[in-house]
Amino acid sequence: MAKLSRRNFAGLLAAGATTAPLAAYQAAKARGLKIKITDLKCAIIGGSPVIRVVTDQGISGYGQAESRKQYLKPMVLFYKDYILGEDPTDVERVMLKIRRMGAFKPWGAAVSAIEIALWDIAGQVAGVPVYKLLGGKIRDRVRIYNGGVRFPMSGHTPQDYAETMAKMKDAKEGFTIIKQAVGFHNGAMIEAIPNAWYDGPRGGAPHPYRGMMTERGLNHVIACVEAMKKVLGDSVGLALDCGPGHTLKDAMKFAKALEPLNLLWIEDILTGDYTPYPNADQYRDLTLSTTVPIHTGEQIYLRQNFKDLIEKNAVDVIGPDPEDVGGIAEQKWIAEYADIHNIQMAPHGVFDGLIGLAAHVHMGAAMPQNFIAFEYPLGSPDWWYQIVDGLPDPIVKKGFIDVWDKPGLGITFKVAAAKARLLEDDRGFFD
């Protein structure tokens, strides 16, 4: 089997760059040339696990897991022996070897990051943006929603939430949708209300609070939501991130009280985040009890685990995260199945980083018409914006991101700048 050198491969792509890049690669394959995975690497860059799939032809693909998941590095490397020697452009063949060995958030993140990196390679090899490989785009710009641009708050009164909402409304991104954490999803808020629920603060994994709300607690949260909506009016949509941990009856009372406000959705109020099950039957009871759209799904791994939520019409909106659900093709499949059940898509992604942002843009471009918006990921720390190339400037215009046409994910590292940010254990990441 002849081997394609890095220089010859680049020449083949250049020759077909303006006419038929895919044909150029197919011609190379017809001559017996092949691309293979030779390494899988993981580095913690600014707190985010970043993975690199390396090939024998000098092409690498990148994926990213949510920030704060530094503990994933050994899990990423666990999959290395399963994918070495495979053709990375046969994305599904590679995924069949590793997909079954993931789990609900956070343990599907490693598999998801690898899948995204494979699409990055496949797009580069074909000379087309990833959205072309997902079926092509049906929109030229993708709507985002704000879950991460935040401003300091002095307290947790209705007035405090009104003031911070006014700042988000005036933010340079021009958000058309803002999501705010309330209730059990906002630990500081719930702890600031005396006797808010019939239990007490506890530590442990994220969002550990759970129980029945007191009348005082429920009324306070409702008052804060009313204050925020008054600021936004009908020009900016308001969504709420509420749990998990509320009882079904509390969730019903809460949703019923907020029906006059025309909220975009109530998210994860029963289960969600790091809850390793979706609880479709209880969500269906909640959804049937209110006109407020009910949303969940960011913690769920794989299409099979959305089956009950979708087929039972248990929720109105689902929000899988491409960095947890199994990747962007997995999310596209879920979106199509949700669409035929009249369920909308608002993908989670606030901690997905800038590589994750690129994945969201390509995926959002190719989503069916049930797509609402995806949660806008930020580069954190801020120096992330100095170590990558390919993002538009400005990234967001009036609440939307224009879809770009560069091959693969279309975002690349400025290697010298990125190397300067590597931890000592990761010095060989770009070698």
Q: Is 357 left (phi over 0), alpha (psi -120 to 50) or beta?
A: alpha
Contact 49, 64 (CB under 8 A): yes
Distance of alpha carbon 166 from alpha carbon 177, whole angstroms = 13
Distance of alpha carbon 109 from alpha carbon 288, whole angstroms = 32
350 pLDDT tier (thresholds 50, 70, 90): very high
Is the pLDDT score of 135 beyond 60? yes
Of the candidates 81, 134, 133, the residue with the CA atom closest to the CA atom of residue 331? 134
Q: How many residues does the chain have?
A: 431
Is the pLDDT score of 16 beyond 70? no
Tell me, what amino acid is at 189?
M
| Residue 178 DSSP class | E
Contact 75, 89 (CB under 8 A): no
Q: What residues pair up with 42 in beta bridges, in sequence order?
A: 51
Is the pLDDT score of 338 beyond 80? yes
Is the pLDDT score of 419 beyond 50? yes
5 pLDDT tier (thresholds 50, 70, 90): very low
Q: What percent of the chain has pLDDT over 70?
A: 92
| Residue 197 DSSP class | B
DSSP codes, 207-237: S---BPBPHHHHHHHHHHHHHHHHHHTTTSE
Contact 156, 192 (CB under 8 A): yes
**What strand order describes the sheet that includes 317-318?**
177-181, 237-241, 265-267, 294-296, 317-318, 344-345
Summarize the confidence of residues 287-308 as an average pLDDT: 98
Domains annotated on the chain, with CATH: 6-129+421-426 (3.30.390.10), 141-409 (3.20.20.120)
The chain-wide mean pLDDT, for the chain, equals 93
Alpha helix ranges (H) inside 340-402: 353-366
203 pLDDT tier (thresholds 50, 70, 90): confident
Distance of alpha carbon 211 from alpha carbon 203, whole angstroms = 15
Output the pLDDT for position 20: 40
Least confident of 16-30, 206-220, 395-409: 16-30
Sign of CA dihedral 412, 335, 306, 245: positive
Of the candidates 390, 388, 389, 353, the residue with the CA atom closest to the CA atom of residue 129? 390
HSE (CB half, 13 Å, CA atoms) of 21? 19
Interval 21-58: pLDDT, tens: 455 455 556 666 689 999 999 999 999 999 999 999 99
Output the pLDDT for position 34: 85
Sign of CA dihedral 350, 354, 359, 364: positive
275 pLDDT tier (thresholds 50, 70, 90): very high
What is the b/e burial string over 58-71, where b = at least 16 CB atoms within 10 angstroms of the residue's CB?
ebbbbbbbbbebee
Least confident of 19-23, 59-63, 272-276: 19-23
Contact 322, 109 (CB under 8 A): no
Q: Which is it for strands 60-64 and 48-55: parallel, antiparallel or unpaired?
A: antiparallel
Output the pLDDT for position 29: 61
Of the candidates 379, 382, 315, the residue with the CA atom closest to the CA atom of residue 342? 315
Q: What residues pair up with 344 in beta bridges, in sequence order?
A: 317
Output the pLDDT for position 316: 98
Output the pLDDT for position 205: 83
Element at 335 (helix H, strand E): helix 328-339
Of the candidates 398, 322, 399, the residue with the CA atom closest to the CA atom of residue 366? 322
| Residue 148 DSSP class | S
Distance of alpha carbon 282 from alpha carbon 315, whole angstroms = 10
Decide: helix, strand or coil at residue 425.
helix
| Residue 199 DSSP class | S
